[in-house]
Amino acid sequence: MTIRAVVKGVGHFLPERVVKNSEFEASLNTSDEWIQARSGIKQRHFVCEGEKTSDMAIIAAQAALADAGLEANDLDAVIVATSTGDLIFPSTATIVQAGINMTKGFAYDLQAVCAGFVFALSTANAQILSGQAKCVMVIGAESFSHLLDWEDRSTCVLFGDGAGAVLLQAEQGEGTSNDRGILSVDLNSDGRHKEILYVDGGVSTGKTGYLRMQGKEVFRHAVEKLAQTAEVAMEKAGVSAEDIDWVVPHQANIRIINSTTKKIGVAPEKVVKTVEEHGNTSAASIPLALSVAKAKGQIKENDLIITEAIGGGLVWGGVVLRW
Ligand code: ACO
């Protein structure tokens, strides 16, 4: 017998403001055709004036609680994976804790950029396995629109805003890959690649700054490292590509998703894709995709799922779980 961190509920939120590719044509030398061909993106959601990362995270968390049939005070912990928290401090997680009326337990942010949700799943899993927590809300929430340089056509068309939440609860398992819950985790980072994806602002600069990216380099690392982490995570879980029901990848670029899935040998129809509608929402992209896929009836109980993500740092990782 072993303890497993099992998904009990999911939820998501997307801001009302939808921006189609054609809107960029007025101010930039770009086209709907170029954006779709190079990234797969058709539209993205951007926060409205005054709408904050915590506002989206609160709604996503409330939806996940409702989906699980639980109350805020059933939670022991809230983790918010984000690079676009409301303030330097307090953490966005504590703002969310207050926002959902959770008056006990603990809450903290985790920053691993686009891989933040995978890292947060890993942390929540470790806290559940150690007995430190029994019920953990893991949220990915981002308003990347605040970090975009609207004059840089190679980055500003790729990102979007949103939030997704997954509620994990401790449950007894048999200790086999037939158990529901998180079956394996693989985390990696290599700080030598800072220059290919970063924000040129922060406390040391006195400004928030803008996202800067060497797209081709990021692309090359992404396909190689995502396939590698997916293979390691599957091996650790004792499952193979044929066993996988759904790949739920970080939604950065349809070409990265297709190349990675081909490399790991999972059939294309088993891949959840939301990048067309959401753009790259960084740490929010995987929980958003999980929530949308469940709502569409794609993901069902007992399905075997692999998620993988990569972000600035570089940081990357994968998780295998049975829904
Ligand atoms: N519209 C029109 N032309 C553009 C645009 C645009 N929005 N953006 C760039 N171009 C131009 C470039 O200036 C370049 O022109 P040039 O040849 O005259 O210099 C040309 O298009 C080709 O540019 P490339 O960078 O070679 O295009 P590429 O096929 O590599 O696609 C892209 C660019 C989409 C950024 C791609 O490299 C990519 O997706 N990289 C991965 C980056 C990513 O997903 N980052 C997300 C953050 S990290 C993560 O989440 C994994």
| pLDDT (tens digit per residue) in 203-244 | 999 999 999 999 999 999 999 999 999 999 999 999 999 999
Which residue owns the Cα nearest ligand 1 atom 5? 154
Task: Please choose, from the candidates 36, 31, 34, 39, the residue with its C-alpha nearest in 3D space to the C-alpha of residue 255.
Answer: 39
CA gap 197, 202 in Å, rounded: 14
Contact 84, 144 (CB under 8 A): yes
- Is the pLDDT at 1 greater than 90? The verdict is no
Among 72, 67, 275, 249, smallest CA distance to 162 is for 275
Residue 136: strand pairing partners: 77, 168
- From the candidates 114, 156, 193, 221, give the one annotated as an active-site residue: 114
Our answer to whether residue 280 is catalytic in this structure is yes
Residue 224 corresponds to which tokens in the numbers above? 């190689």
How high is the pLDDT of residue 30? 96
For 51-81, how does the pLDDT look when each residue is reduced to its tens digit (9 = 90+)?
A: 999 999 999 999 999 999 999 999 999 999 9
286 lines ligand 1 (CB under 6 A): no
Q: Compute the distance between CA of residue 168 and CA of residue 40 in angstroms, rounded to an integer.
A: 31
Give residue-wise pLDDT tens across range 274-310.
Answer: 999 999 999 999 999 999 999 999 999 999 999 999 9
Minimum-distance ligand 1 atom for the alpha carbon of 24: 7
**pTM of the full predicted structure?**
0.97
* 24 neighbors 35 (Cβ within 8 angstroms): yes
What local confidence, expressed as pLDDT, does residue 203 receive? Answer: 95
pLDDT tens by residue, 233-251:
999 999 999 999 999 999 9
What is the mean pLDDT of the segment spanning 167-194?
A: 97
- For residue 216, the CA-to-ligand 1 centroid distance in Å is 7
Q: For ligand 1, atom 19, which residue shows the shortest CA distance?
A: 154
Q: Catalytic annotation on 278?
A: no
CB 140 within 8 A of CB 85: no
